[in-house]
């Protein structure tokens, strides 16, 4: 198992100082702080090359989509790069199987109607998007995903009515297929996601129920890359807010995810409706997996002890979810207002970013932990977690220097926060340090692309480290002398690169015997 230290860092952003756990990078800037309708995929972690991120940069009179990339081999960010050459909004992101980023948005050149569009990078992480394909007129709000066959898929909304949800795809670049109607009378939120290992797709959306303040969730699944779709399926409500004769739960924000074993997951925020009246407080974050029994599990109930300011939406919302493919640990993140931390300019409450973990496919969740400083004079908003997690959870969010979406506009940083998963599961600093001194191998990164560092325990005397493939054949051995760090470049004893796959590390020495798995990706 990969292990990391708990690190509390002090950060200076825009003249404000605050403390957070892990590593925080400023990757770009924006003045746009109006709440997007819910979490959508804006960050992708590719173990082969690095981490992609996109966001909306609004510096009047211009509004465009920006992109940045963290190279996992150099350990550096590329720098801000523009994606489209026209006014655009509502970006979302994925990668094609060869590693290039594709960014979806809706936009217009000012002379044509608003329409969906997509841009493709020329190489993994280059930040060059010369190829842009424009979608059909009369549609907007394109959310994007990519299946393993390389097809690019979109869930779109009819424009300007915004009442029906459609599906379309690019099977062969740059040609869009005719949109297919998936559901009528939807809203206000929708999402699309694809499997990490197959061509399965799911589109989900909220839809209003009588008496008009209750939103349920429905979905349709395709198992063949969107060529055909299953029937509309409604998800049952979770037992949120201890429903009674006058209290009903309603969905607010939804996010879907396929794990490595093809289990489908939803994380959602809910609010109570009492006598036909919507209440922003309390709010609850729930997890759904149809393979679990029960299918729903509660992650968080957010109900402040004090309320020193105002809010204009649900108290805890915009959840998203990812998974470590080695340990199968699920990590959920969301934003939540801080009842004791109002913005003095407008009395709007500031917000923080929270996380929780599950090691049993979402049946139970660890005690939620806040990863941002709850006393900071910054409001942290709009999180999204990369669906593939290594020993860090990669989370992007906005740091709003003035809480709320009111004028005046401020120049706000876009952050990427790497949070140690050992800390998320609830280990203290003392426990983390004790774990790092235990007799376990420390492998980082894992999975890896070019190089991985293997730290041997200090208790290993006269050690011998052997690497075996999945068939049990010895491919590489090390006999380190007077050092406990080994760097493996994915080569065997003959200096040839090994195939992609899982390898077993066996460490033996006087008084010690250890086994660990490492995943090699070209």
Per-block mean pLDDT, blocks of 10 residues, the chain (522 long): 39 51 90 83 93 92 91 88 92 96 92 92 97 94 96 94 92 97 85 92 87 83 97 95 80 93 94 87 97 97 94 94 91 97 94 96 96 92 94 93 81 93 76 52 78 71 80 85 75 90 81 78 68
Cβ atoms of 22 and 371 closer than 8 Å: yes
What residues contact 421, with CB distance under 8 A and at least 6 apart? 4, 324, 327, 329, 331, 357, 389, 391, 392, 393
Residue 259: CA atoms inside 13 Å, Cβ hemisphere, count?
Answer: 27
Produce one character per residue of 31-61: b if its CB has 16 or more CB atoms within 10 Å, e if not. bbbeebbbbbbbbbbbbbbbbbbbbbbbeee
Cα 90 to Cα 115: distance, rounded to the nearest angstrom: 12
Cβ atoms of 33 and 408 closer than 8 Å: no
pLDDT at 80: 94
Cα 394 to Cα 384: distance, rounded to the nearest angstrom: 9
pLDDT at 433: 55
pLDDT at 7: 43
Decide: helix, strand or coil at residue 110. Answer: coil
pLDDT at 16: 47
DSSP string spanning 415-436? Answer: EEEEEEHHHHTT--HHHHHHHH
Cα 291 to Cα 507: distance, rounded to the nearest angstrom: 37
- Determine whether 152 is exposed, middle or buried from the number of CB atoms within 10 Å of its CB (0-12, 13-18, 19+): buried
Q: What is the DSSP letter of 311?
A: -
pLDDT at 407: 63
What residues contact 140, with CB distance under 8 A and at least 6 apart? 90, 106, 114, 115, 116, 156, 157, 159, 162
pTM of the model: 0.82
In sign, the C-alpha dihedral spanning 345, 347, 348, 354 is: positive
Cα 135 to Cα 121: distance, rounded to the nearest angstrom: 18
Cβ atoms of 398 and 415 closer than 8 Å: yes
């Amino acid at each position: 198992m990969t292990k990391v230290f708990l690190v509390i860092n002090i950060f200076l952003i825009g003249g404000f100082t605050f403390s957070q756990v892990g590593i925080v990078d400023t990757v770009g800037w924006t003045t746009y702080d109006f709440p997007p309708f819910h979490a959508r995929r804006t960050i992708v972690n590719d173990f082969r090359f690095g981490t992609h991120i996109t966001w909306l940069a609004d510096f009047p009179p211009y509004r465009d989509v920006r992109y940045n990339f963290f190279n996992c081999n150099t350990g550096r960010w590329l720098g801000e790069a523009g994606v489209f050459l026209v006014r655009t909004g509502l970006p979302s992101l994925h990668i094609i199987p060869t590693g290039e980023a594709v960014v979806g948005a809706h936009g217009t050149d000012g002379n044509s109607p608003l329409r969906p569009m997509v841009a493709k990078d020329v190489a993994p992480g280059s930040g060059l998007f010369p190829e842009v394909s424009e979608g059909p007129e009369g549609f907007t709000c394109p959310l994007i995903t990519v299946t393993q066959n390389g097809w690019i898929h979109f869930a779109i909304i009819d424009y300007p009515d915004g009442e029906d949800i459609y599906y379309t795809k690019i099977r062969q670049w740059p040609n869009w297929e005719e949109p297919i109607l998936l559901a009528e009378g939807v809203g206000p939120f929708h999402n699309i996601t694809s499997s990490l290992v197959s061509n399965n797709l799911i589109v989900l959306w909220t839809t209003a129920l009588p008496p008009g303040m209750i939103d349920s969730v429905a979905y349709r699944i395709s198992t063949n890359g969107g060529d055909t779709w299953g029937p509309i399926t409604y998800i049952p409500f979770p037992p949120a807010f201890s429903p009674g004769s006058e209290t009903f739960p309603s969905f607010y924000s939804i996010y879907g995810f396929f794990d490595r074993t093809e289990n489908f997951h939803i994380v959602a925020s809910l609010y109570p409706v009492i006598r036909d009246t919507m209440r922003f407080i309390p709010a609850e974050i729930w997890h759904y997996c149809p393979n679990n029994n029960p299918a729903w599990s509660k992650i968080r109930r957010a109900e402040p002890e004090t309320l020193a300011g105002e809010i204009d939406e649900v108290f805890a919302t915009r959840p998203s979810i990812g998974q470590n493919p080695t340990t199968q640990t699920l990590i959920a993140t969301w934003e939540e207002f801080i009842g004791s931390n109002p913005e003095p300019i407008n009395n709007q409450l500031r917000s923080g970013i929270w996380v929780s973990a599950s090691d049993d496919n979402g049946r139970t969740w660890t005690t939620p932990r806040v990863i941002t400083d709850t006393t900071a004079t910054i409001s942290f908003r709009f999180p999204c977690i990369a669906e593939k997690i290594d020993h860090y959870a990669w989370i992007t969010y906005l740091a709003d220097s003035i809480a709320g979406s009111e004028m005046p506009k401020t120049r706000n940083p876009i952050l990427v926060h790497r949070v140690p998963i050992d800390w998320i599961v609830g280990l203290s600093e003392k426990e983390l340090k004790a774990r790092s001194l235990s007799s376990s191998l420390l492998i980082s990164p894992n999975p890896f692309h070019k190089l991985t560092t293997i730290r041997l325990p200090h208790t290993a005397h006269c050690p011998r480290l052997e690497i075996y493939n999945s068939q049990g054949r010895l491919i590489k051995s090390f006999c380190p002398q007077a050092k406990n760090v080994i760097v493996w470049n994915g080569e065997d004893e003959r200096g040839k690169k090994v195939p992609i796959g899982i390898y077993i590390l066996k460490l033996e020495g006087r008084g010690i015997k250890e086994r660990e798995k490492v995943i090699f990706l070209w």
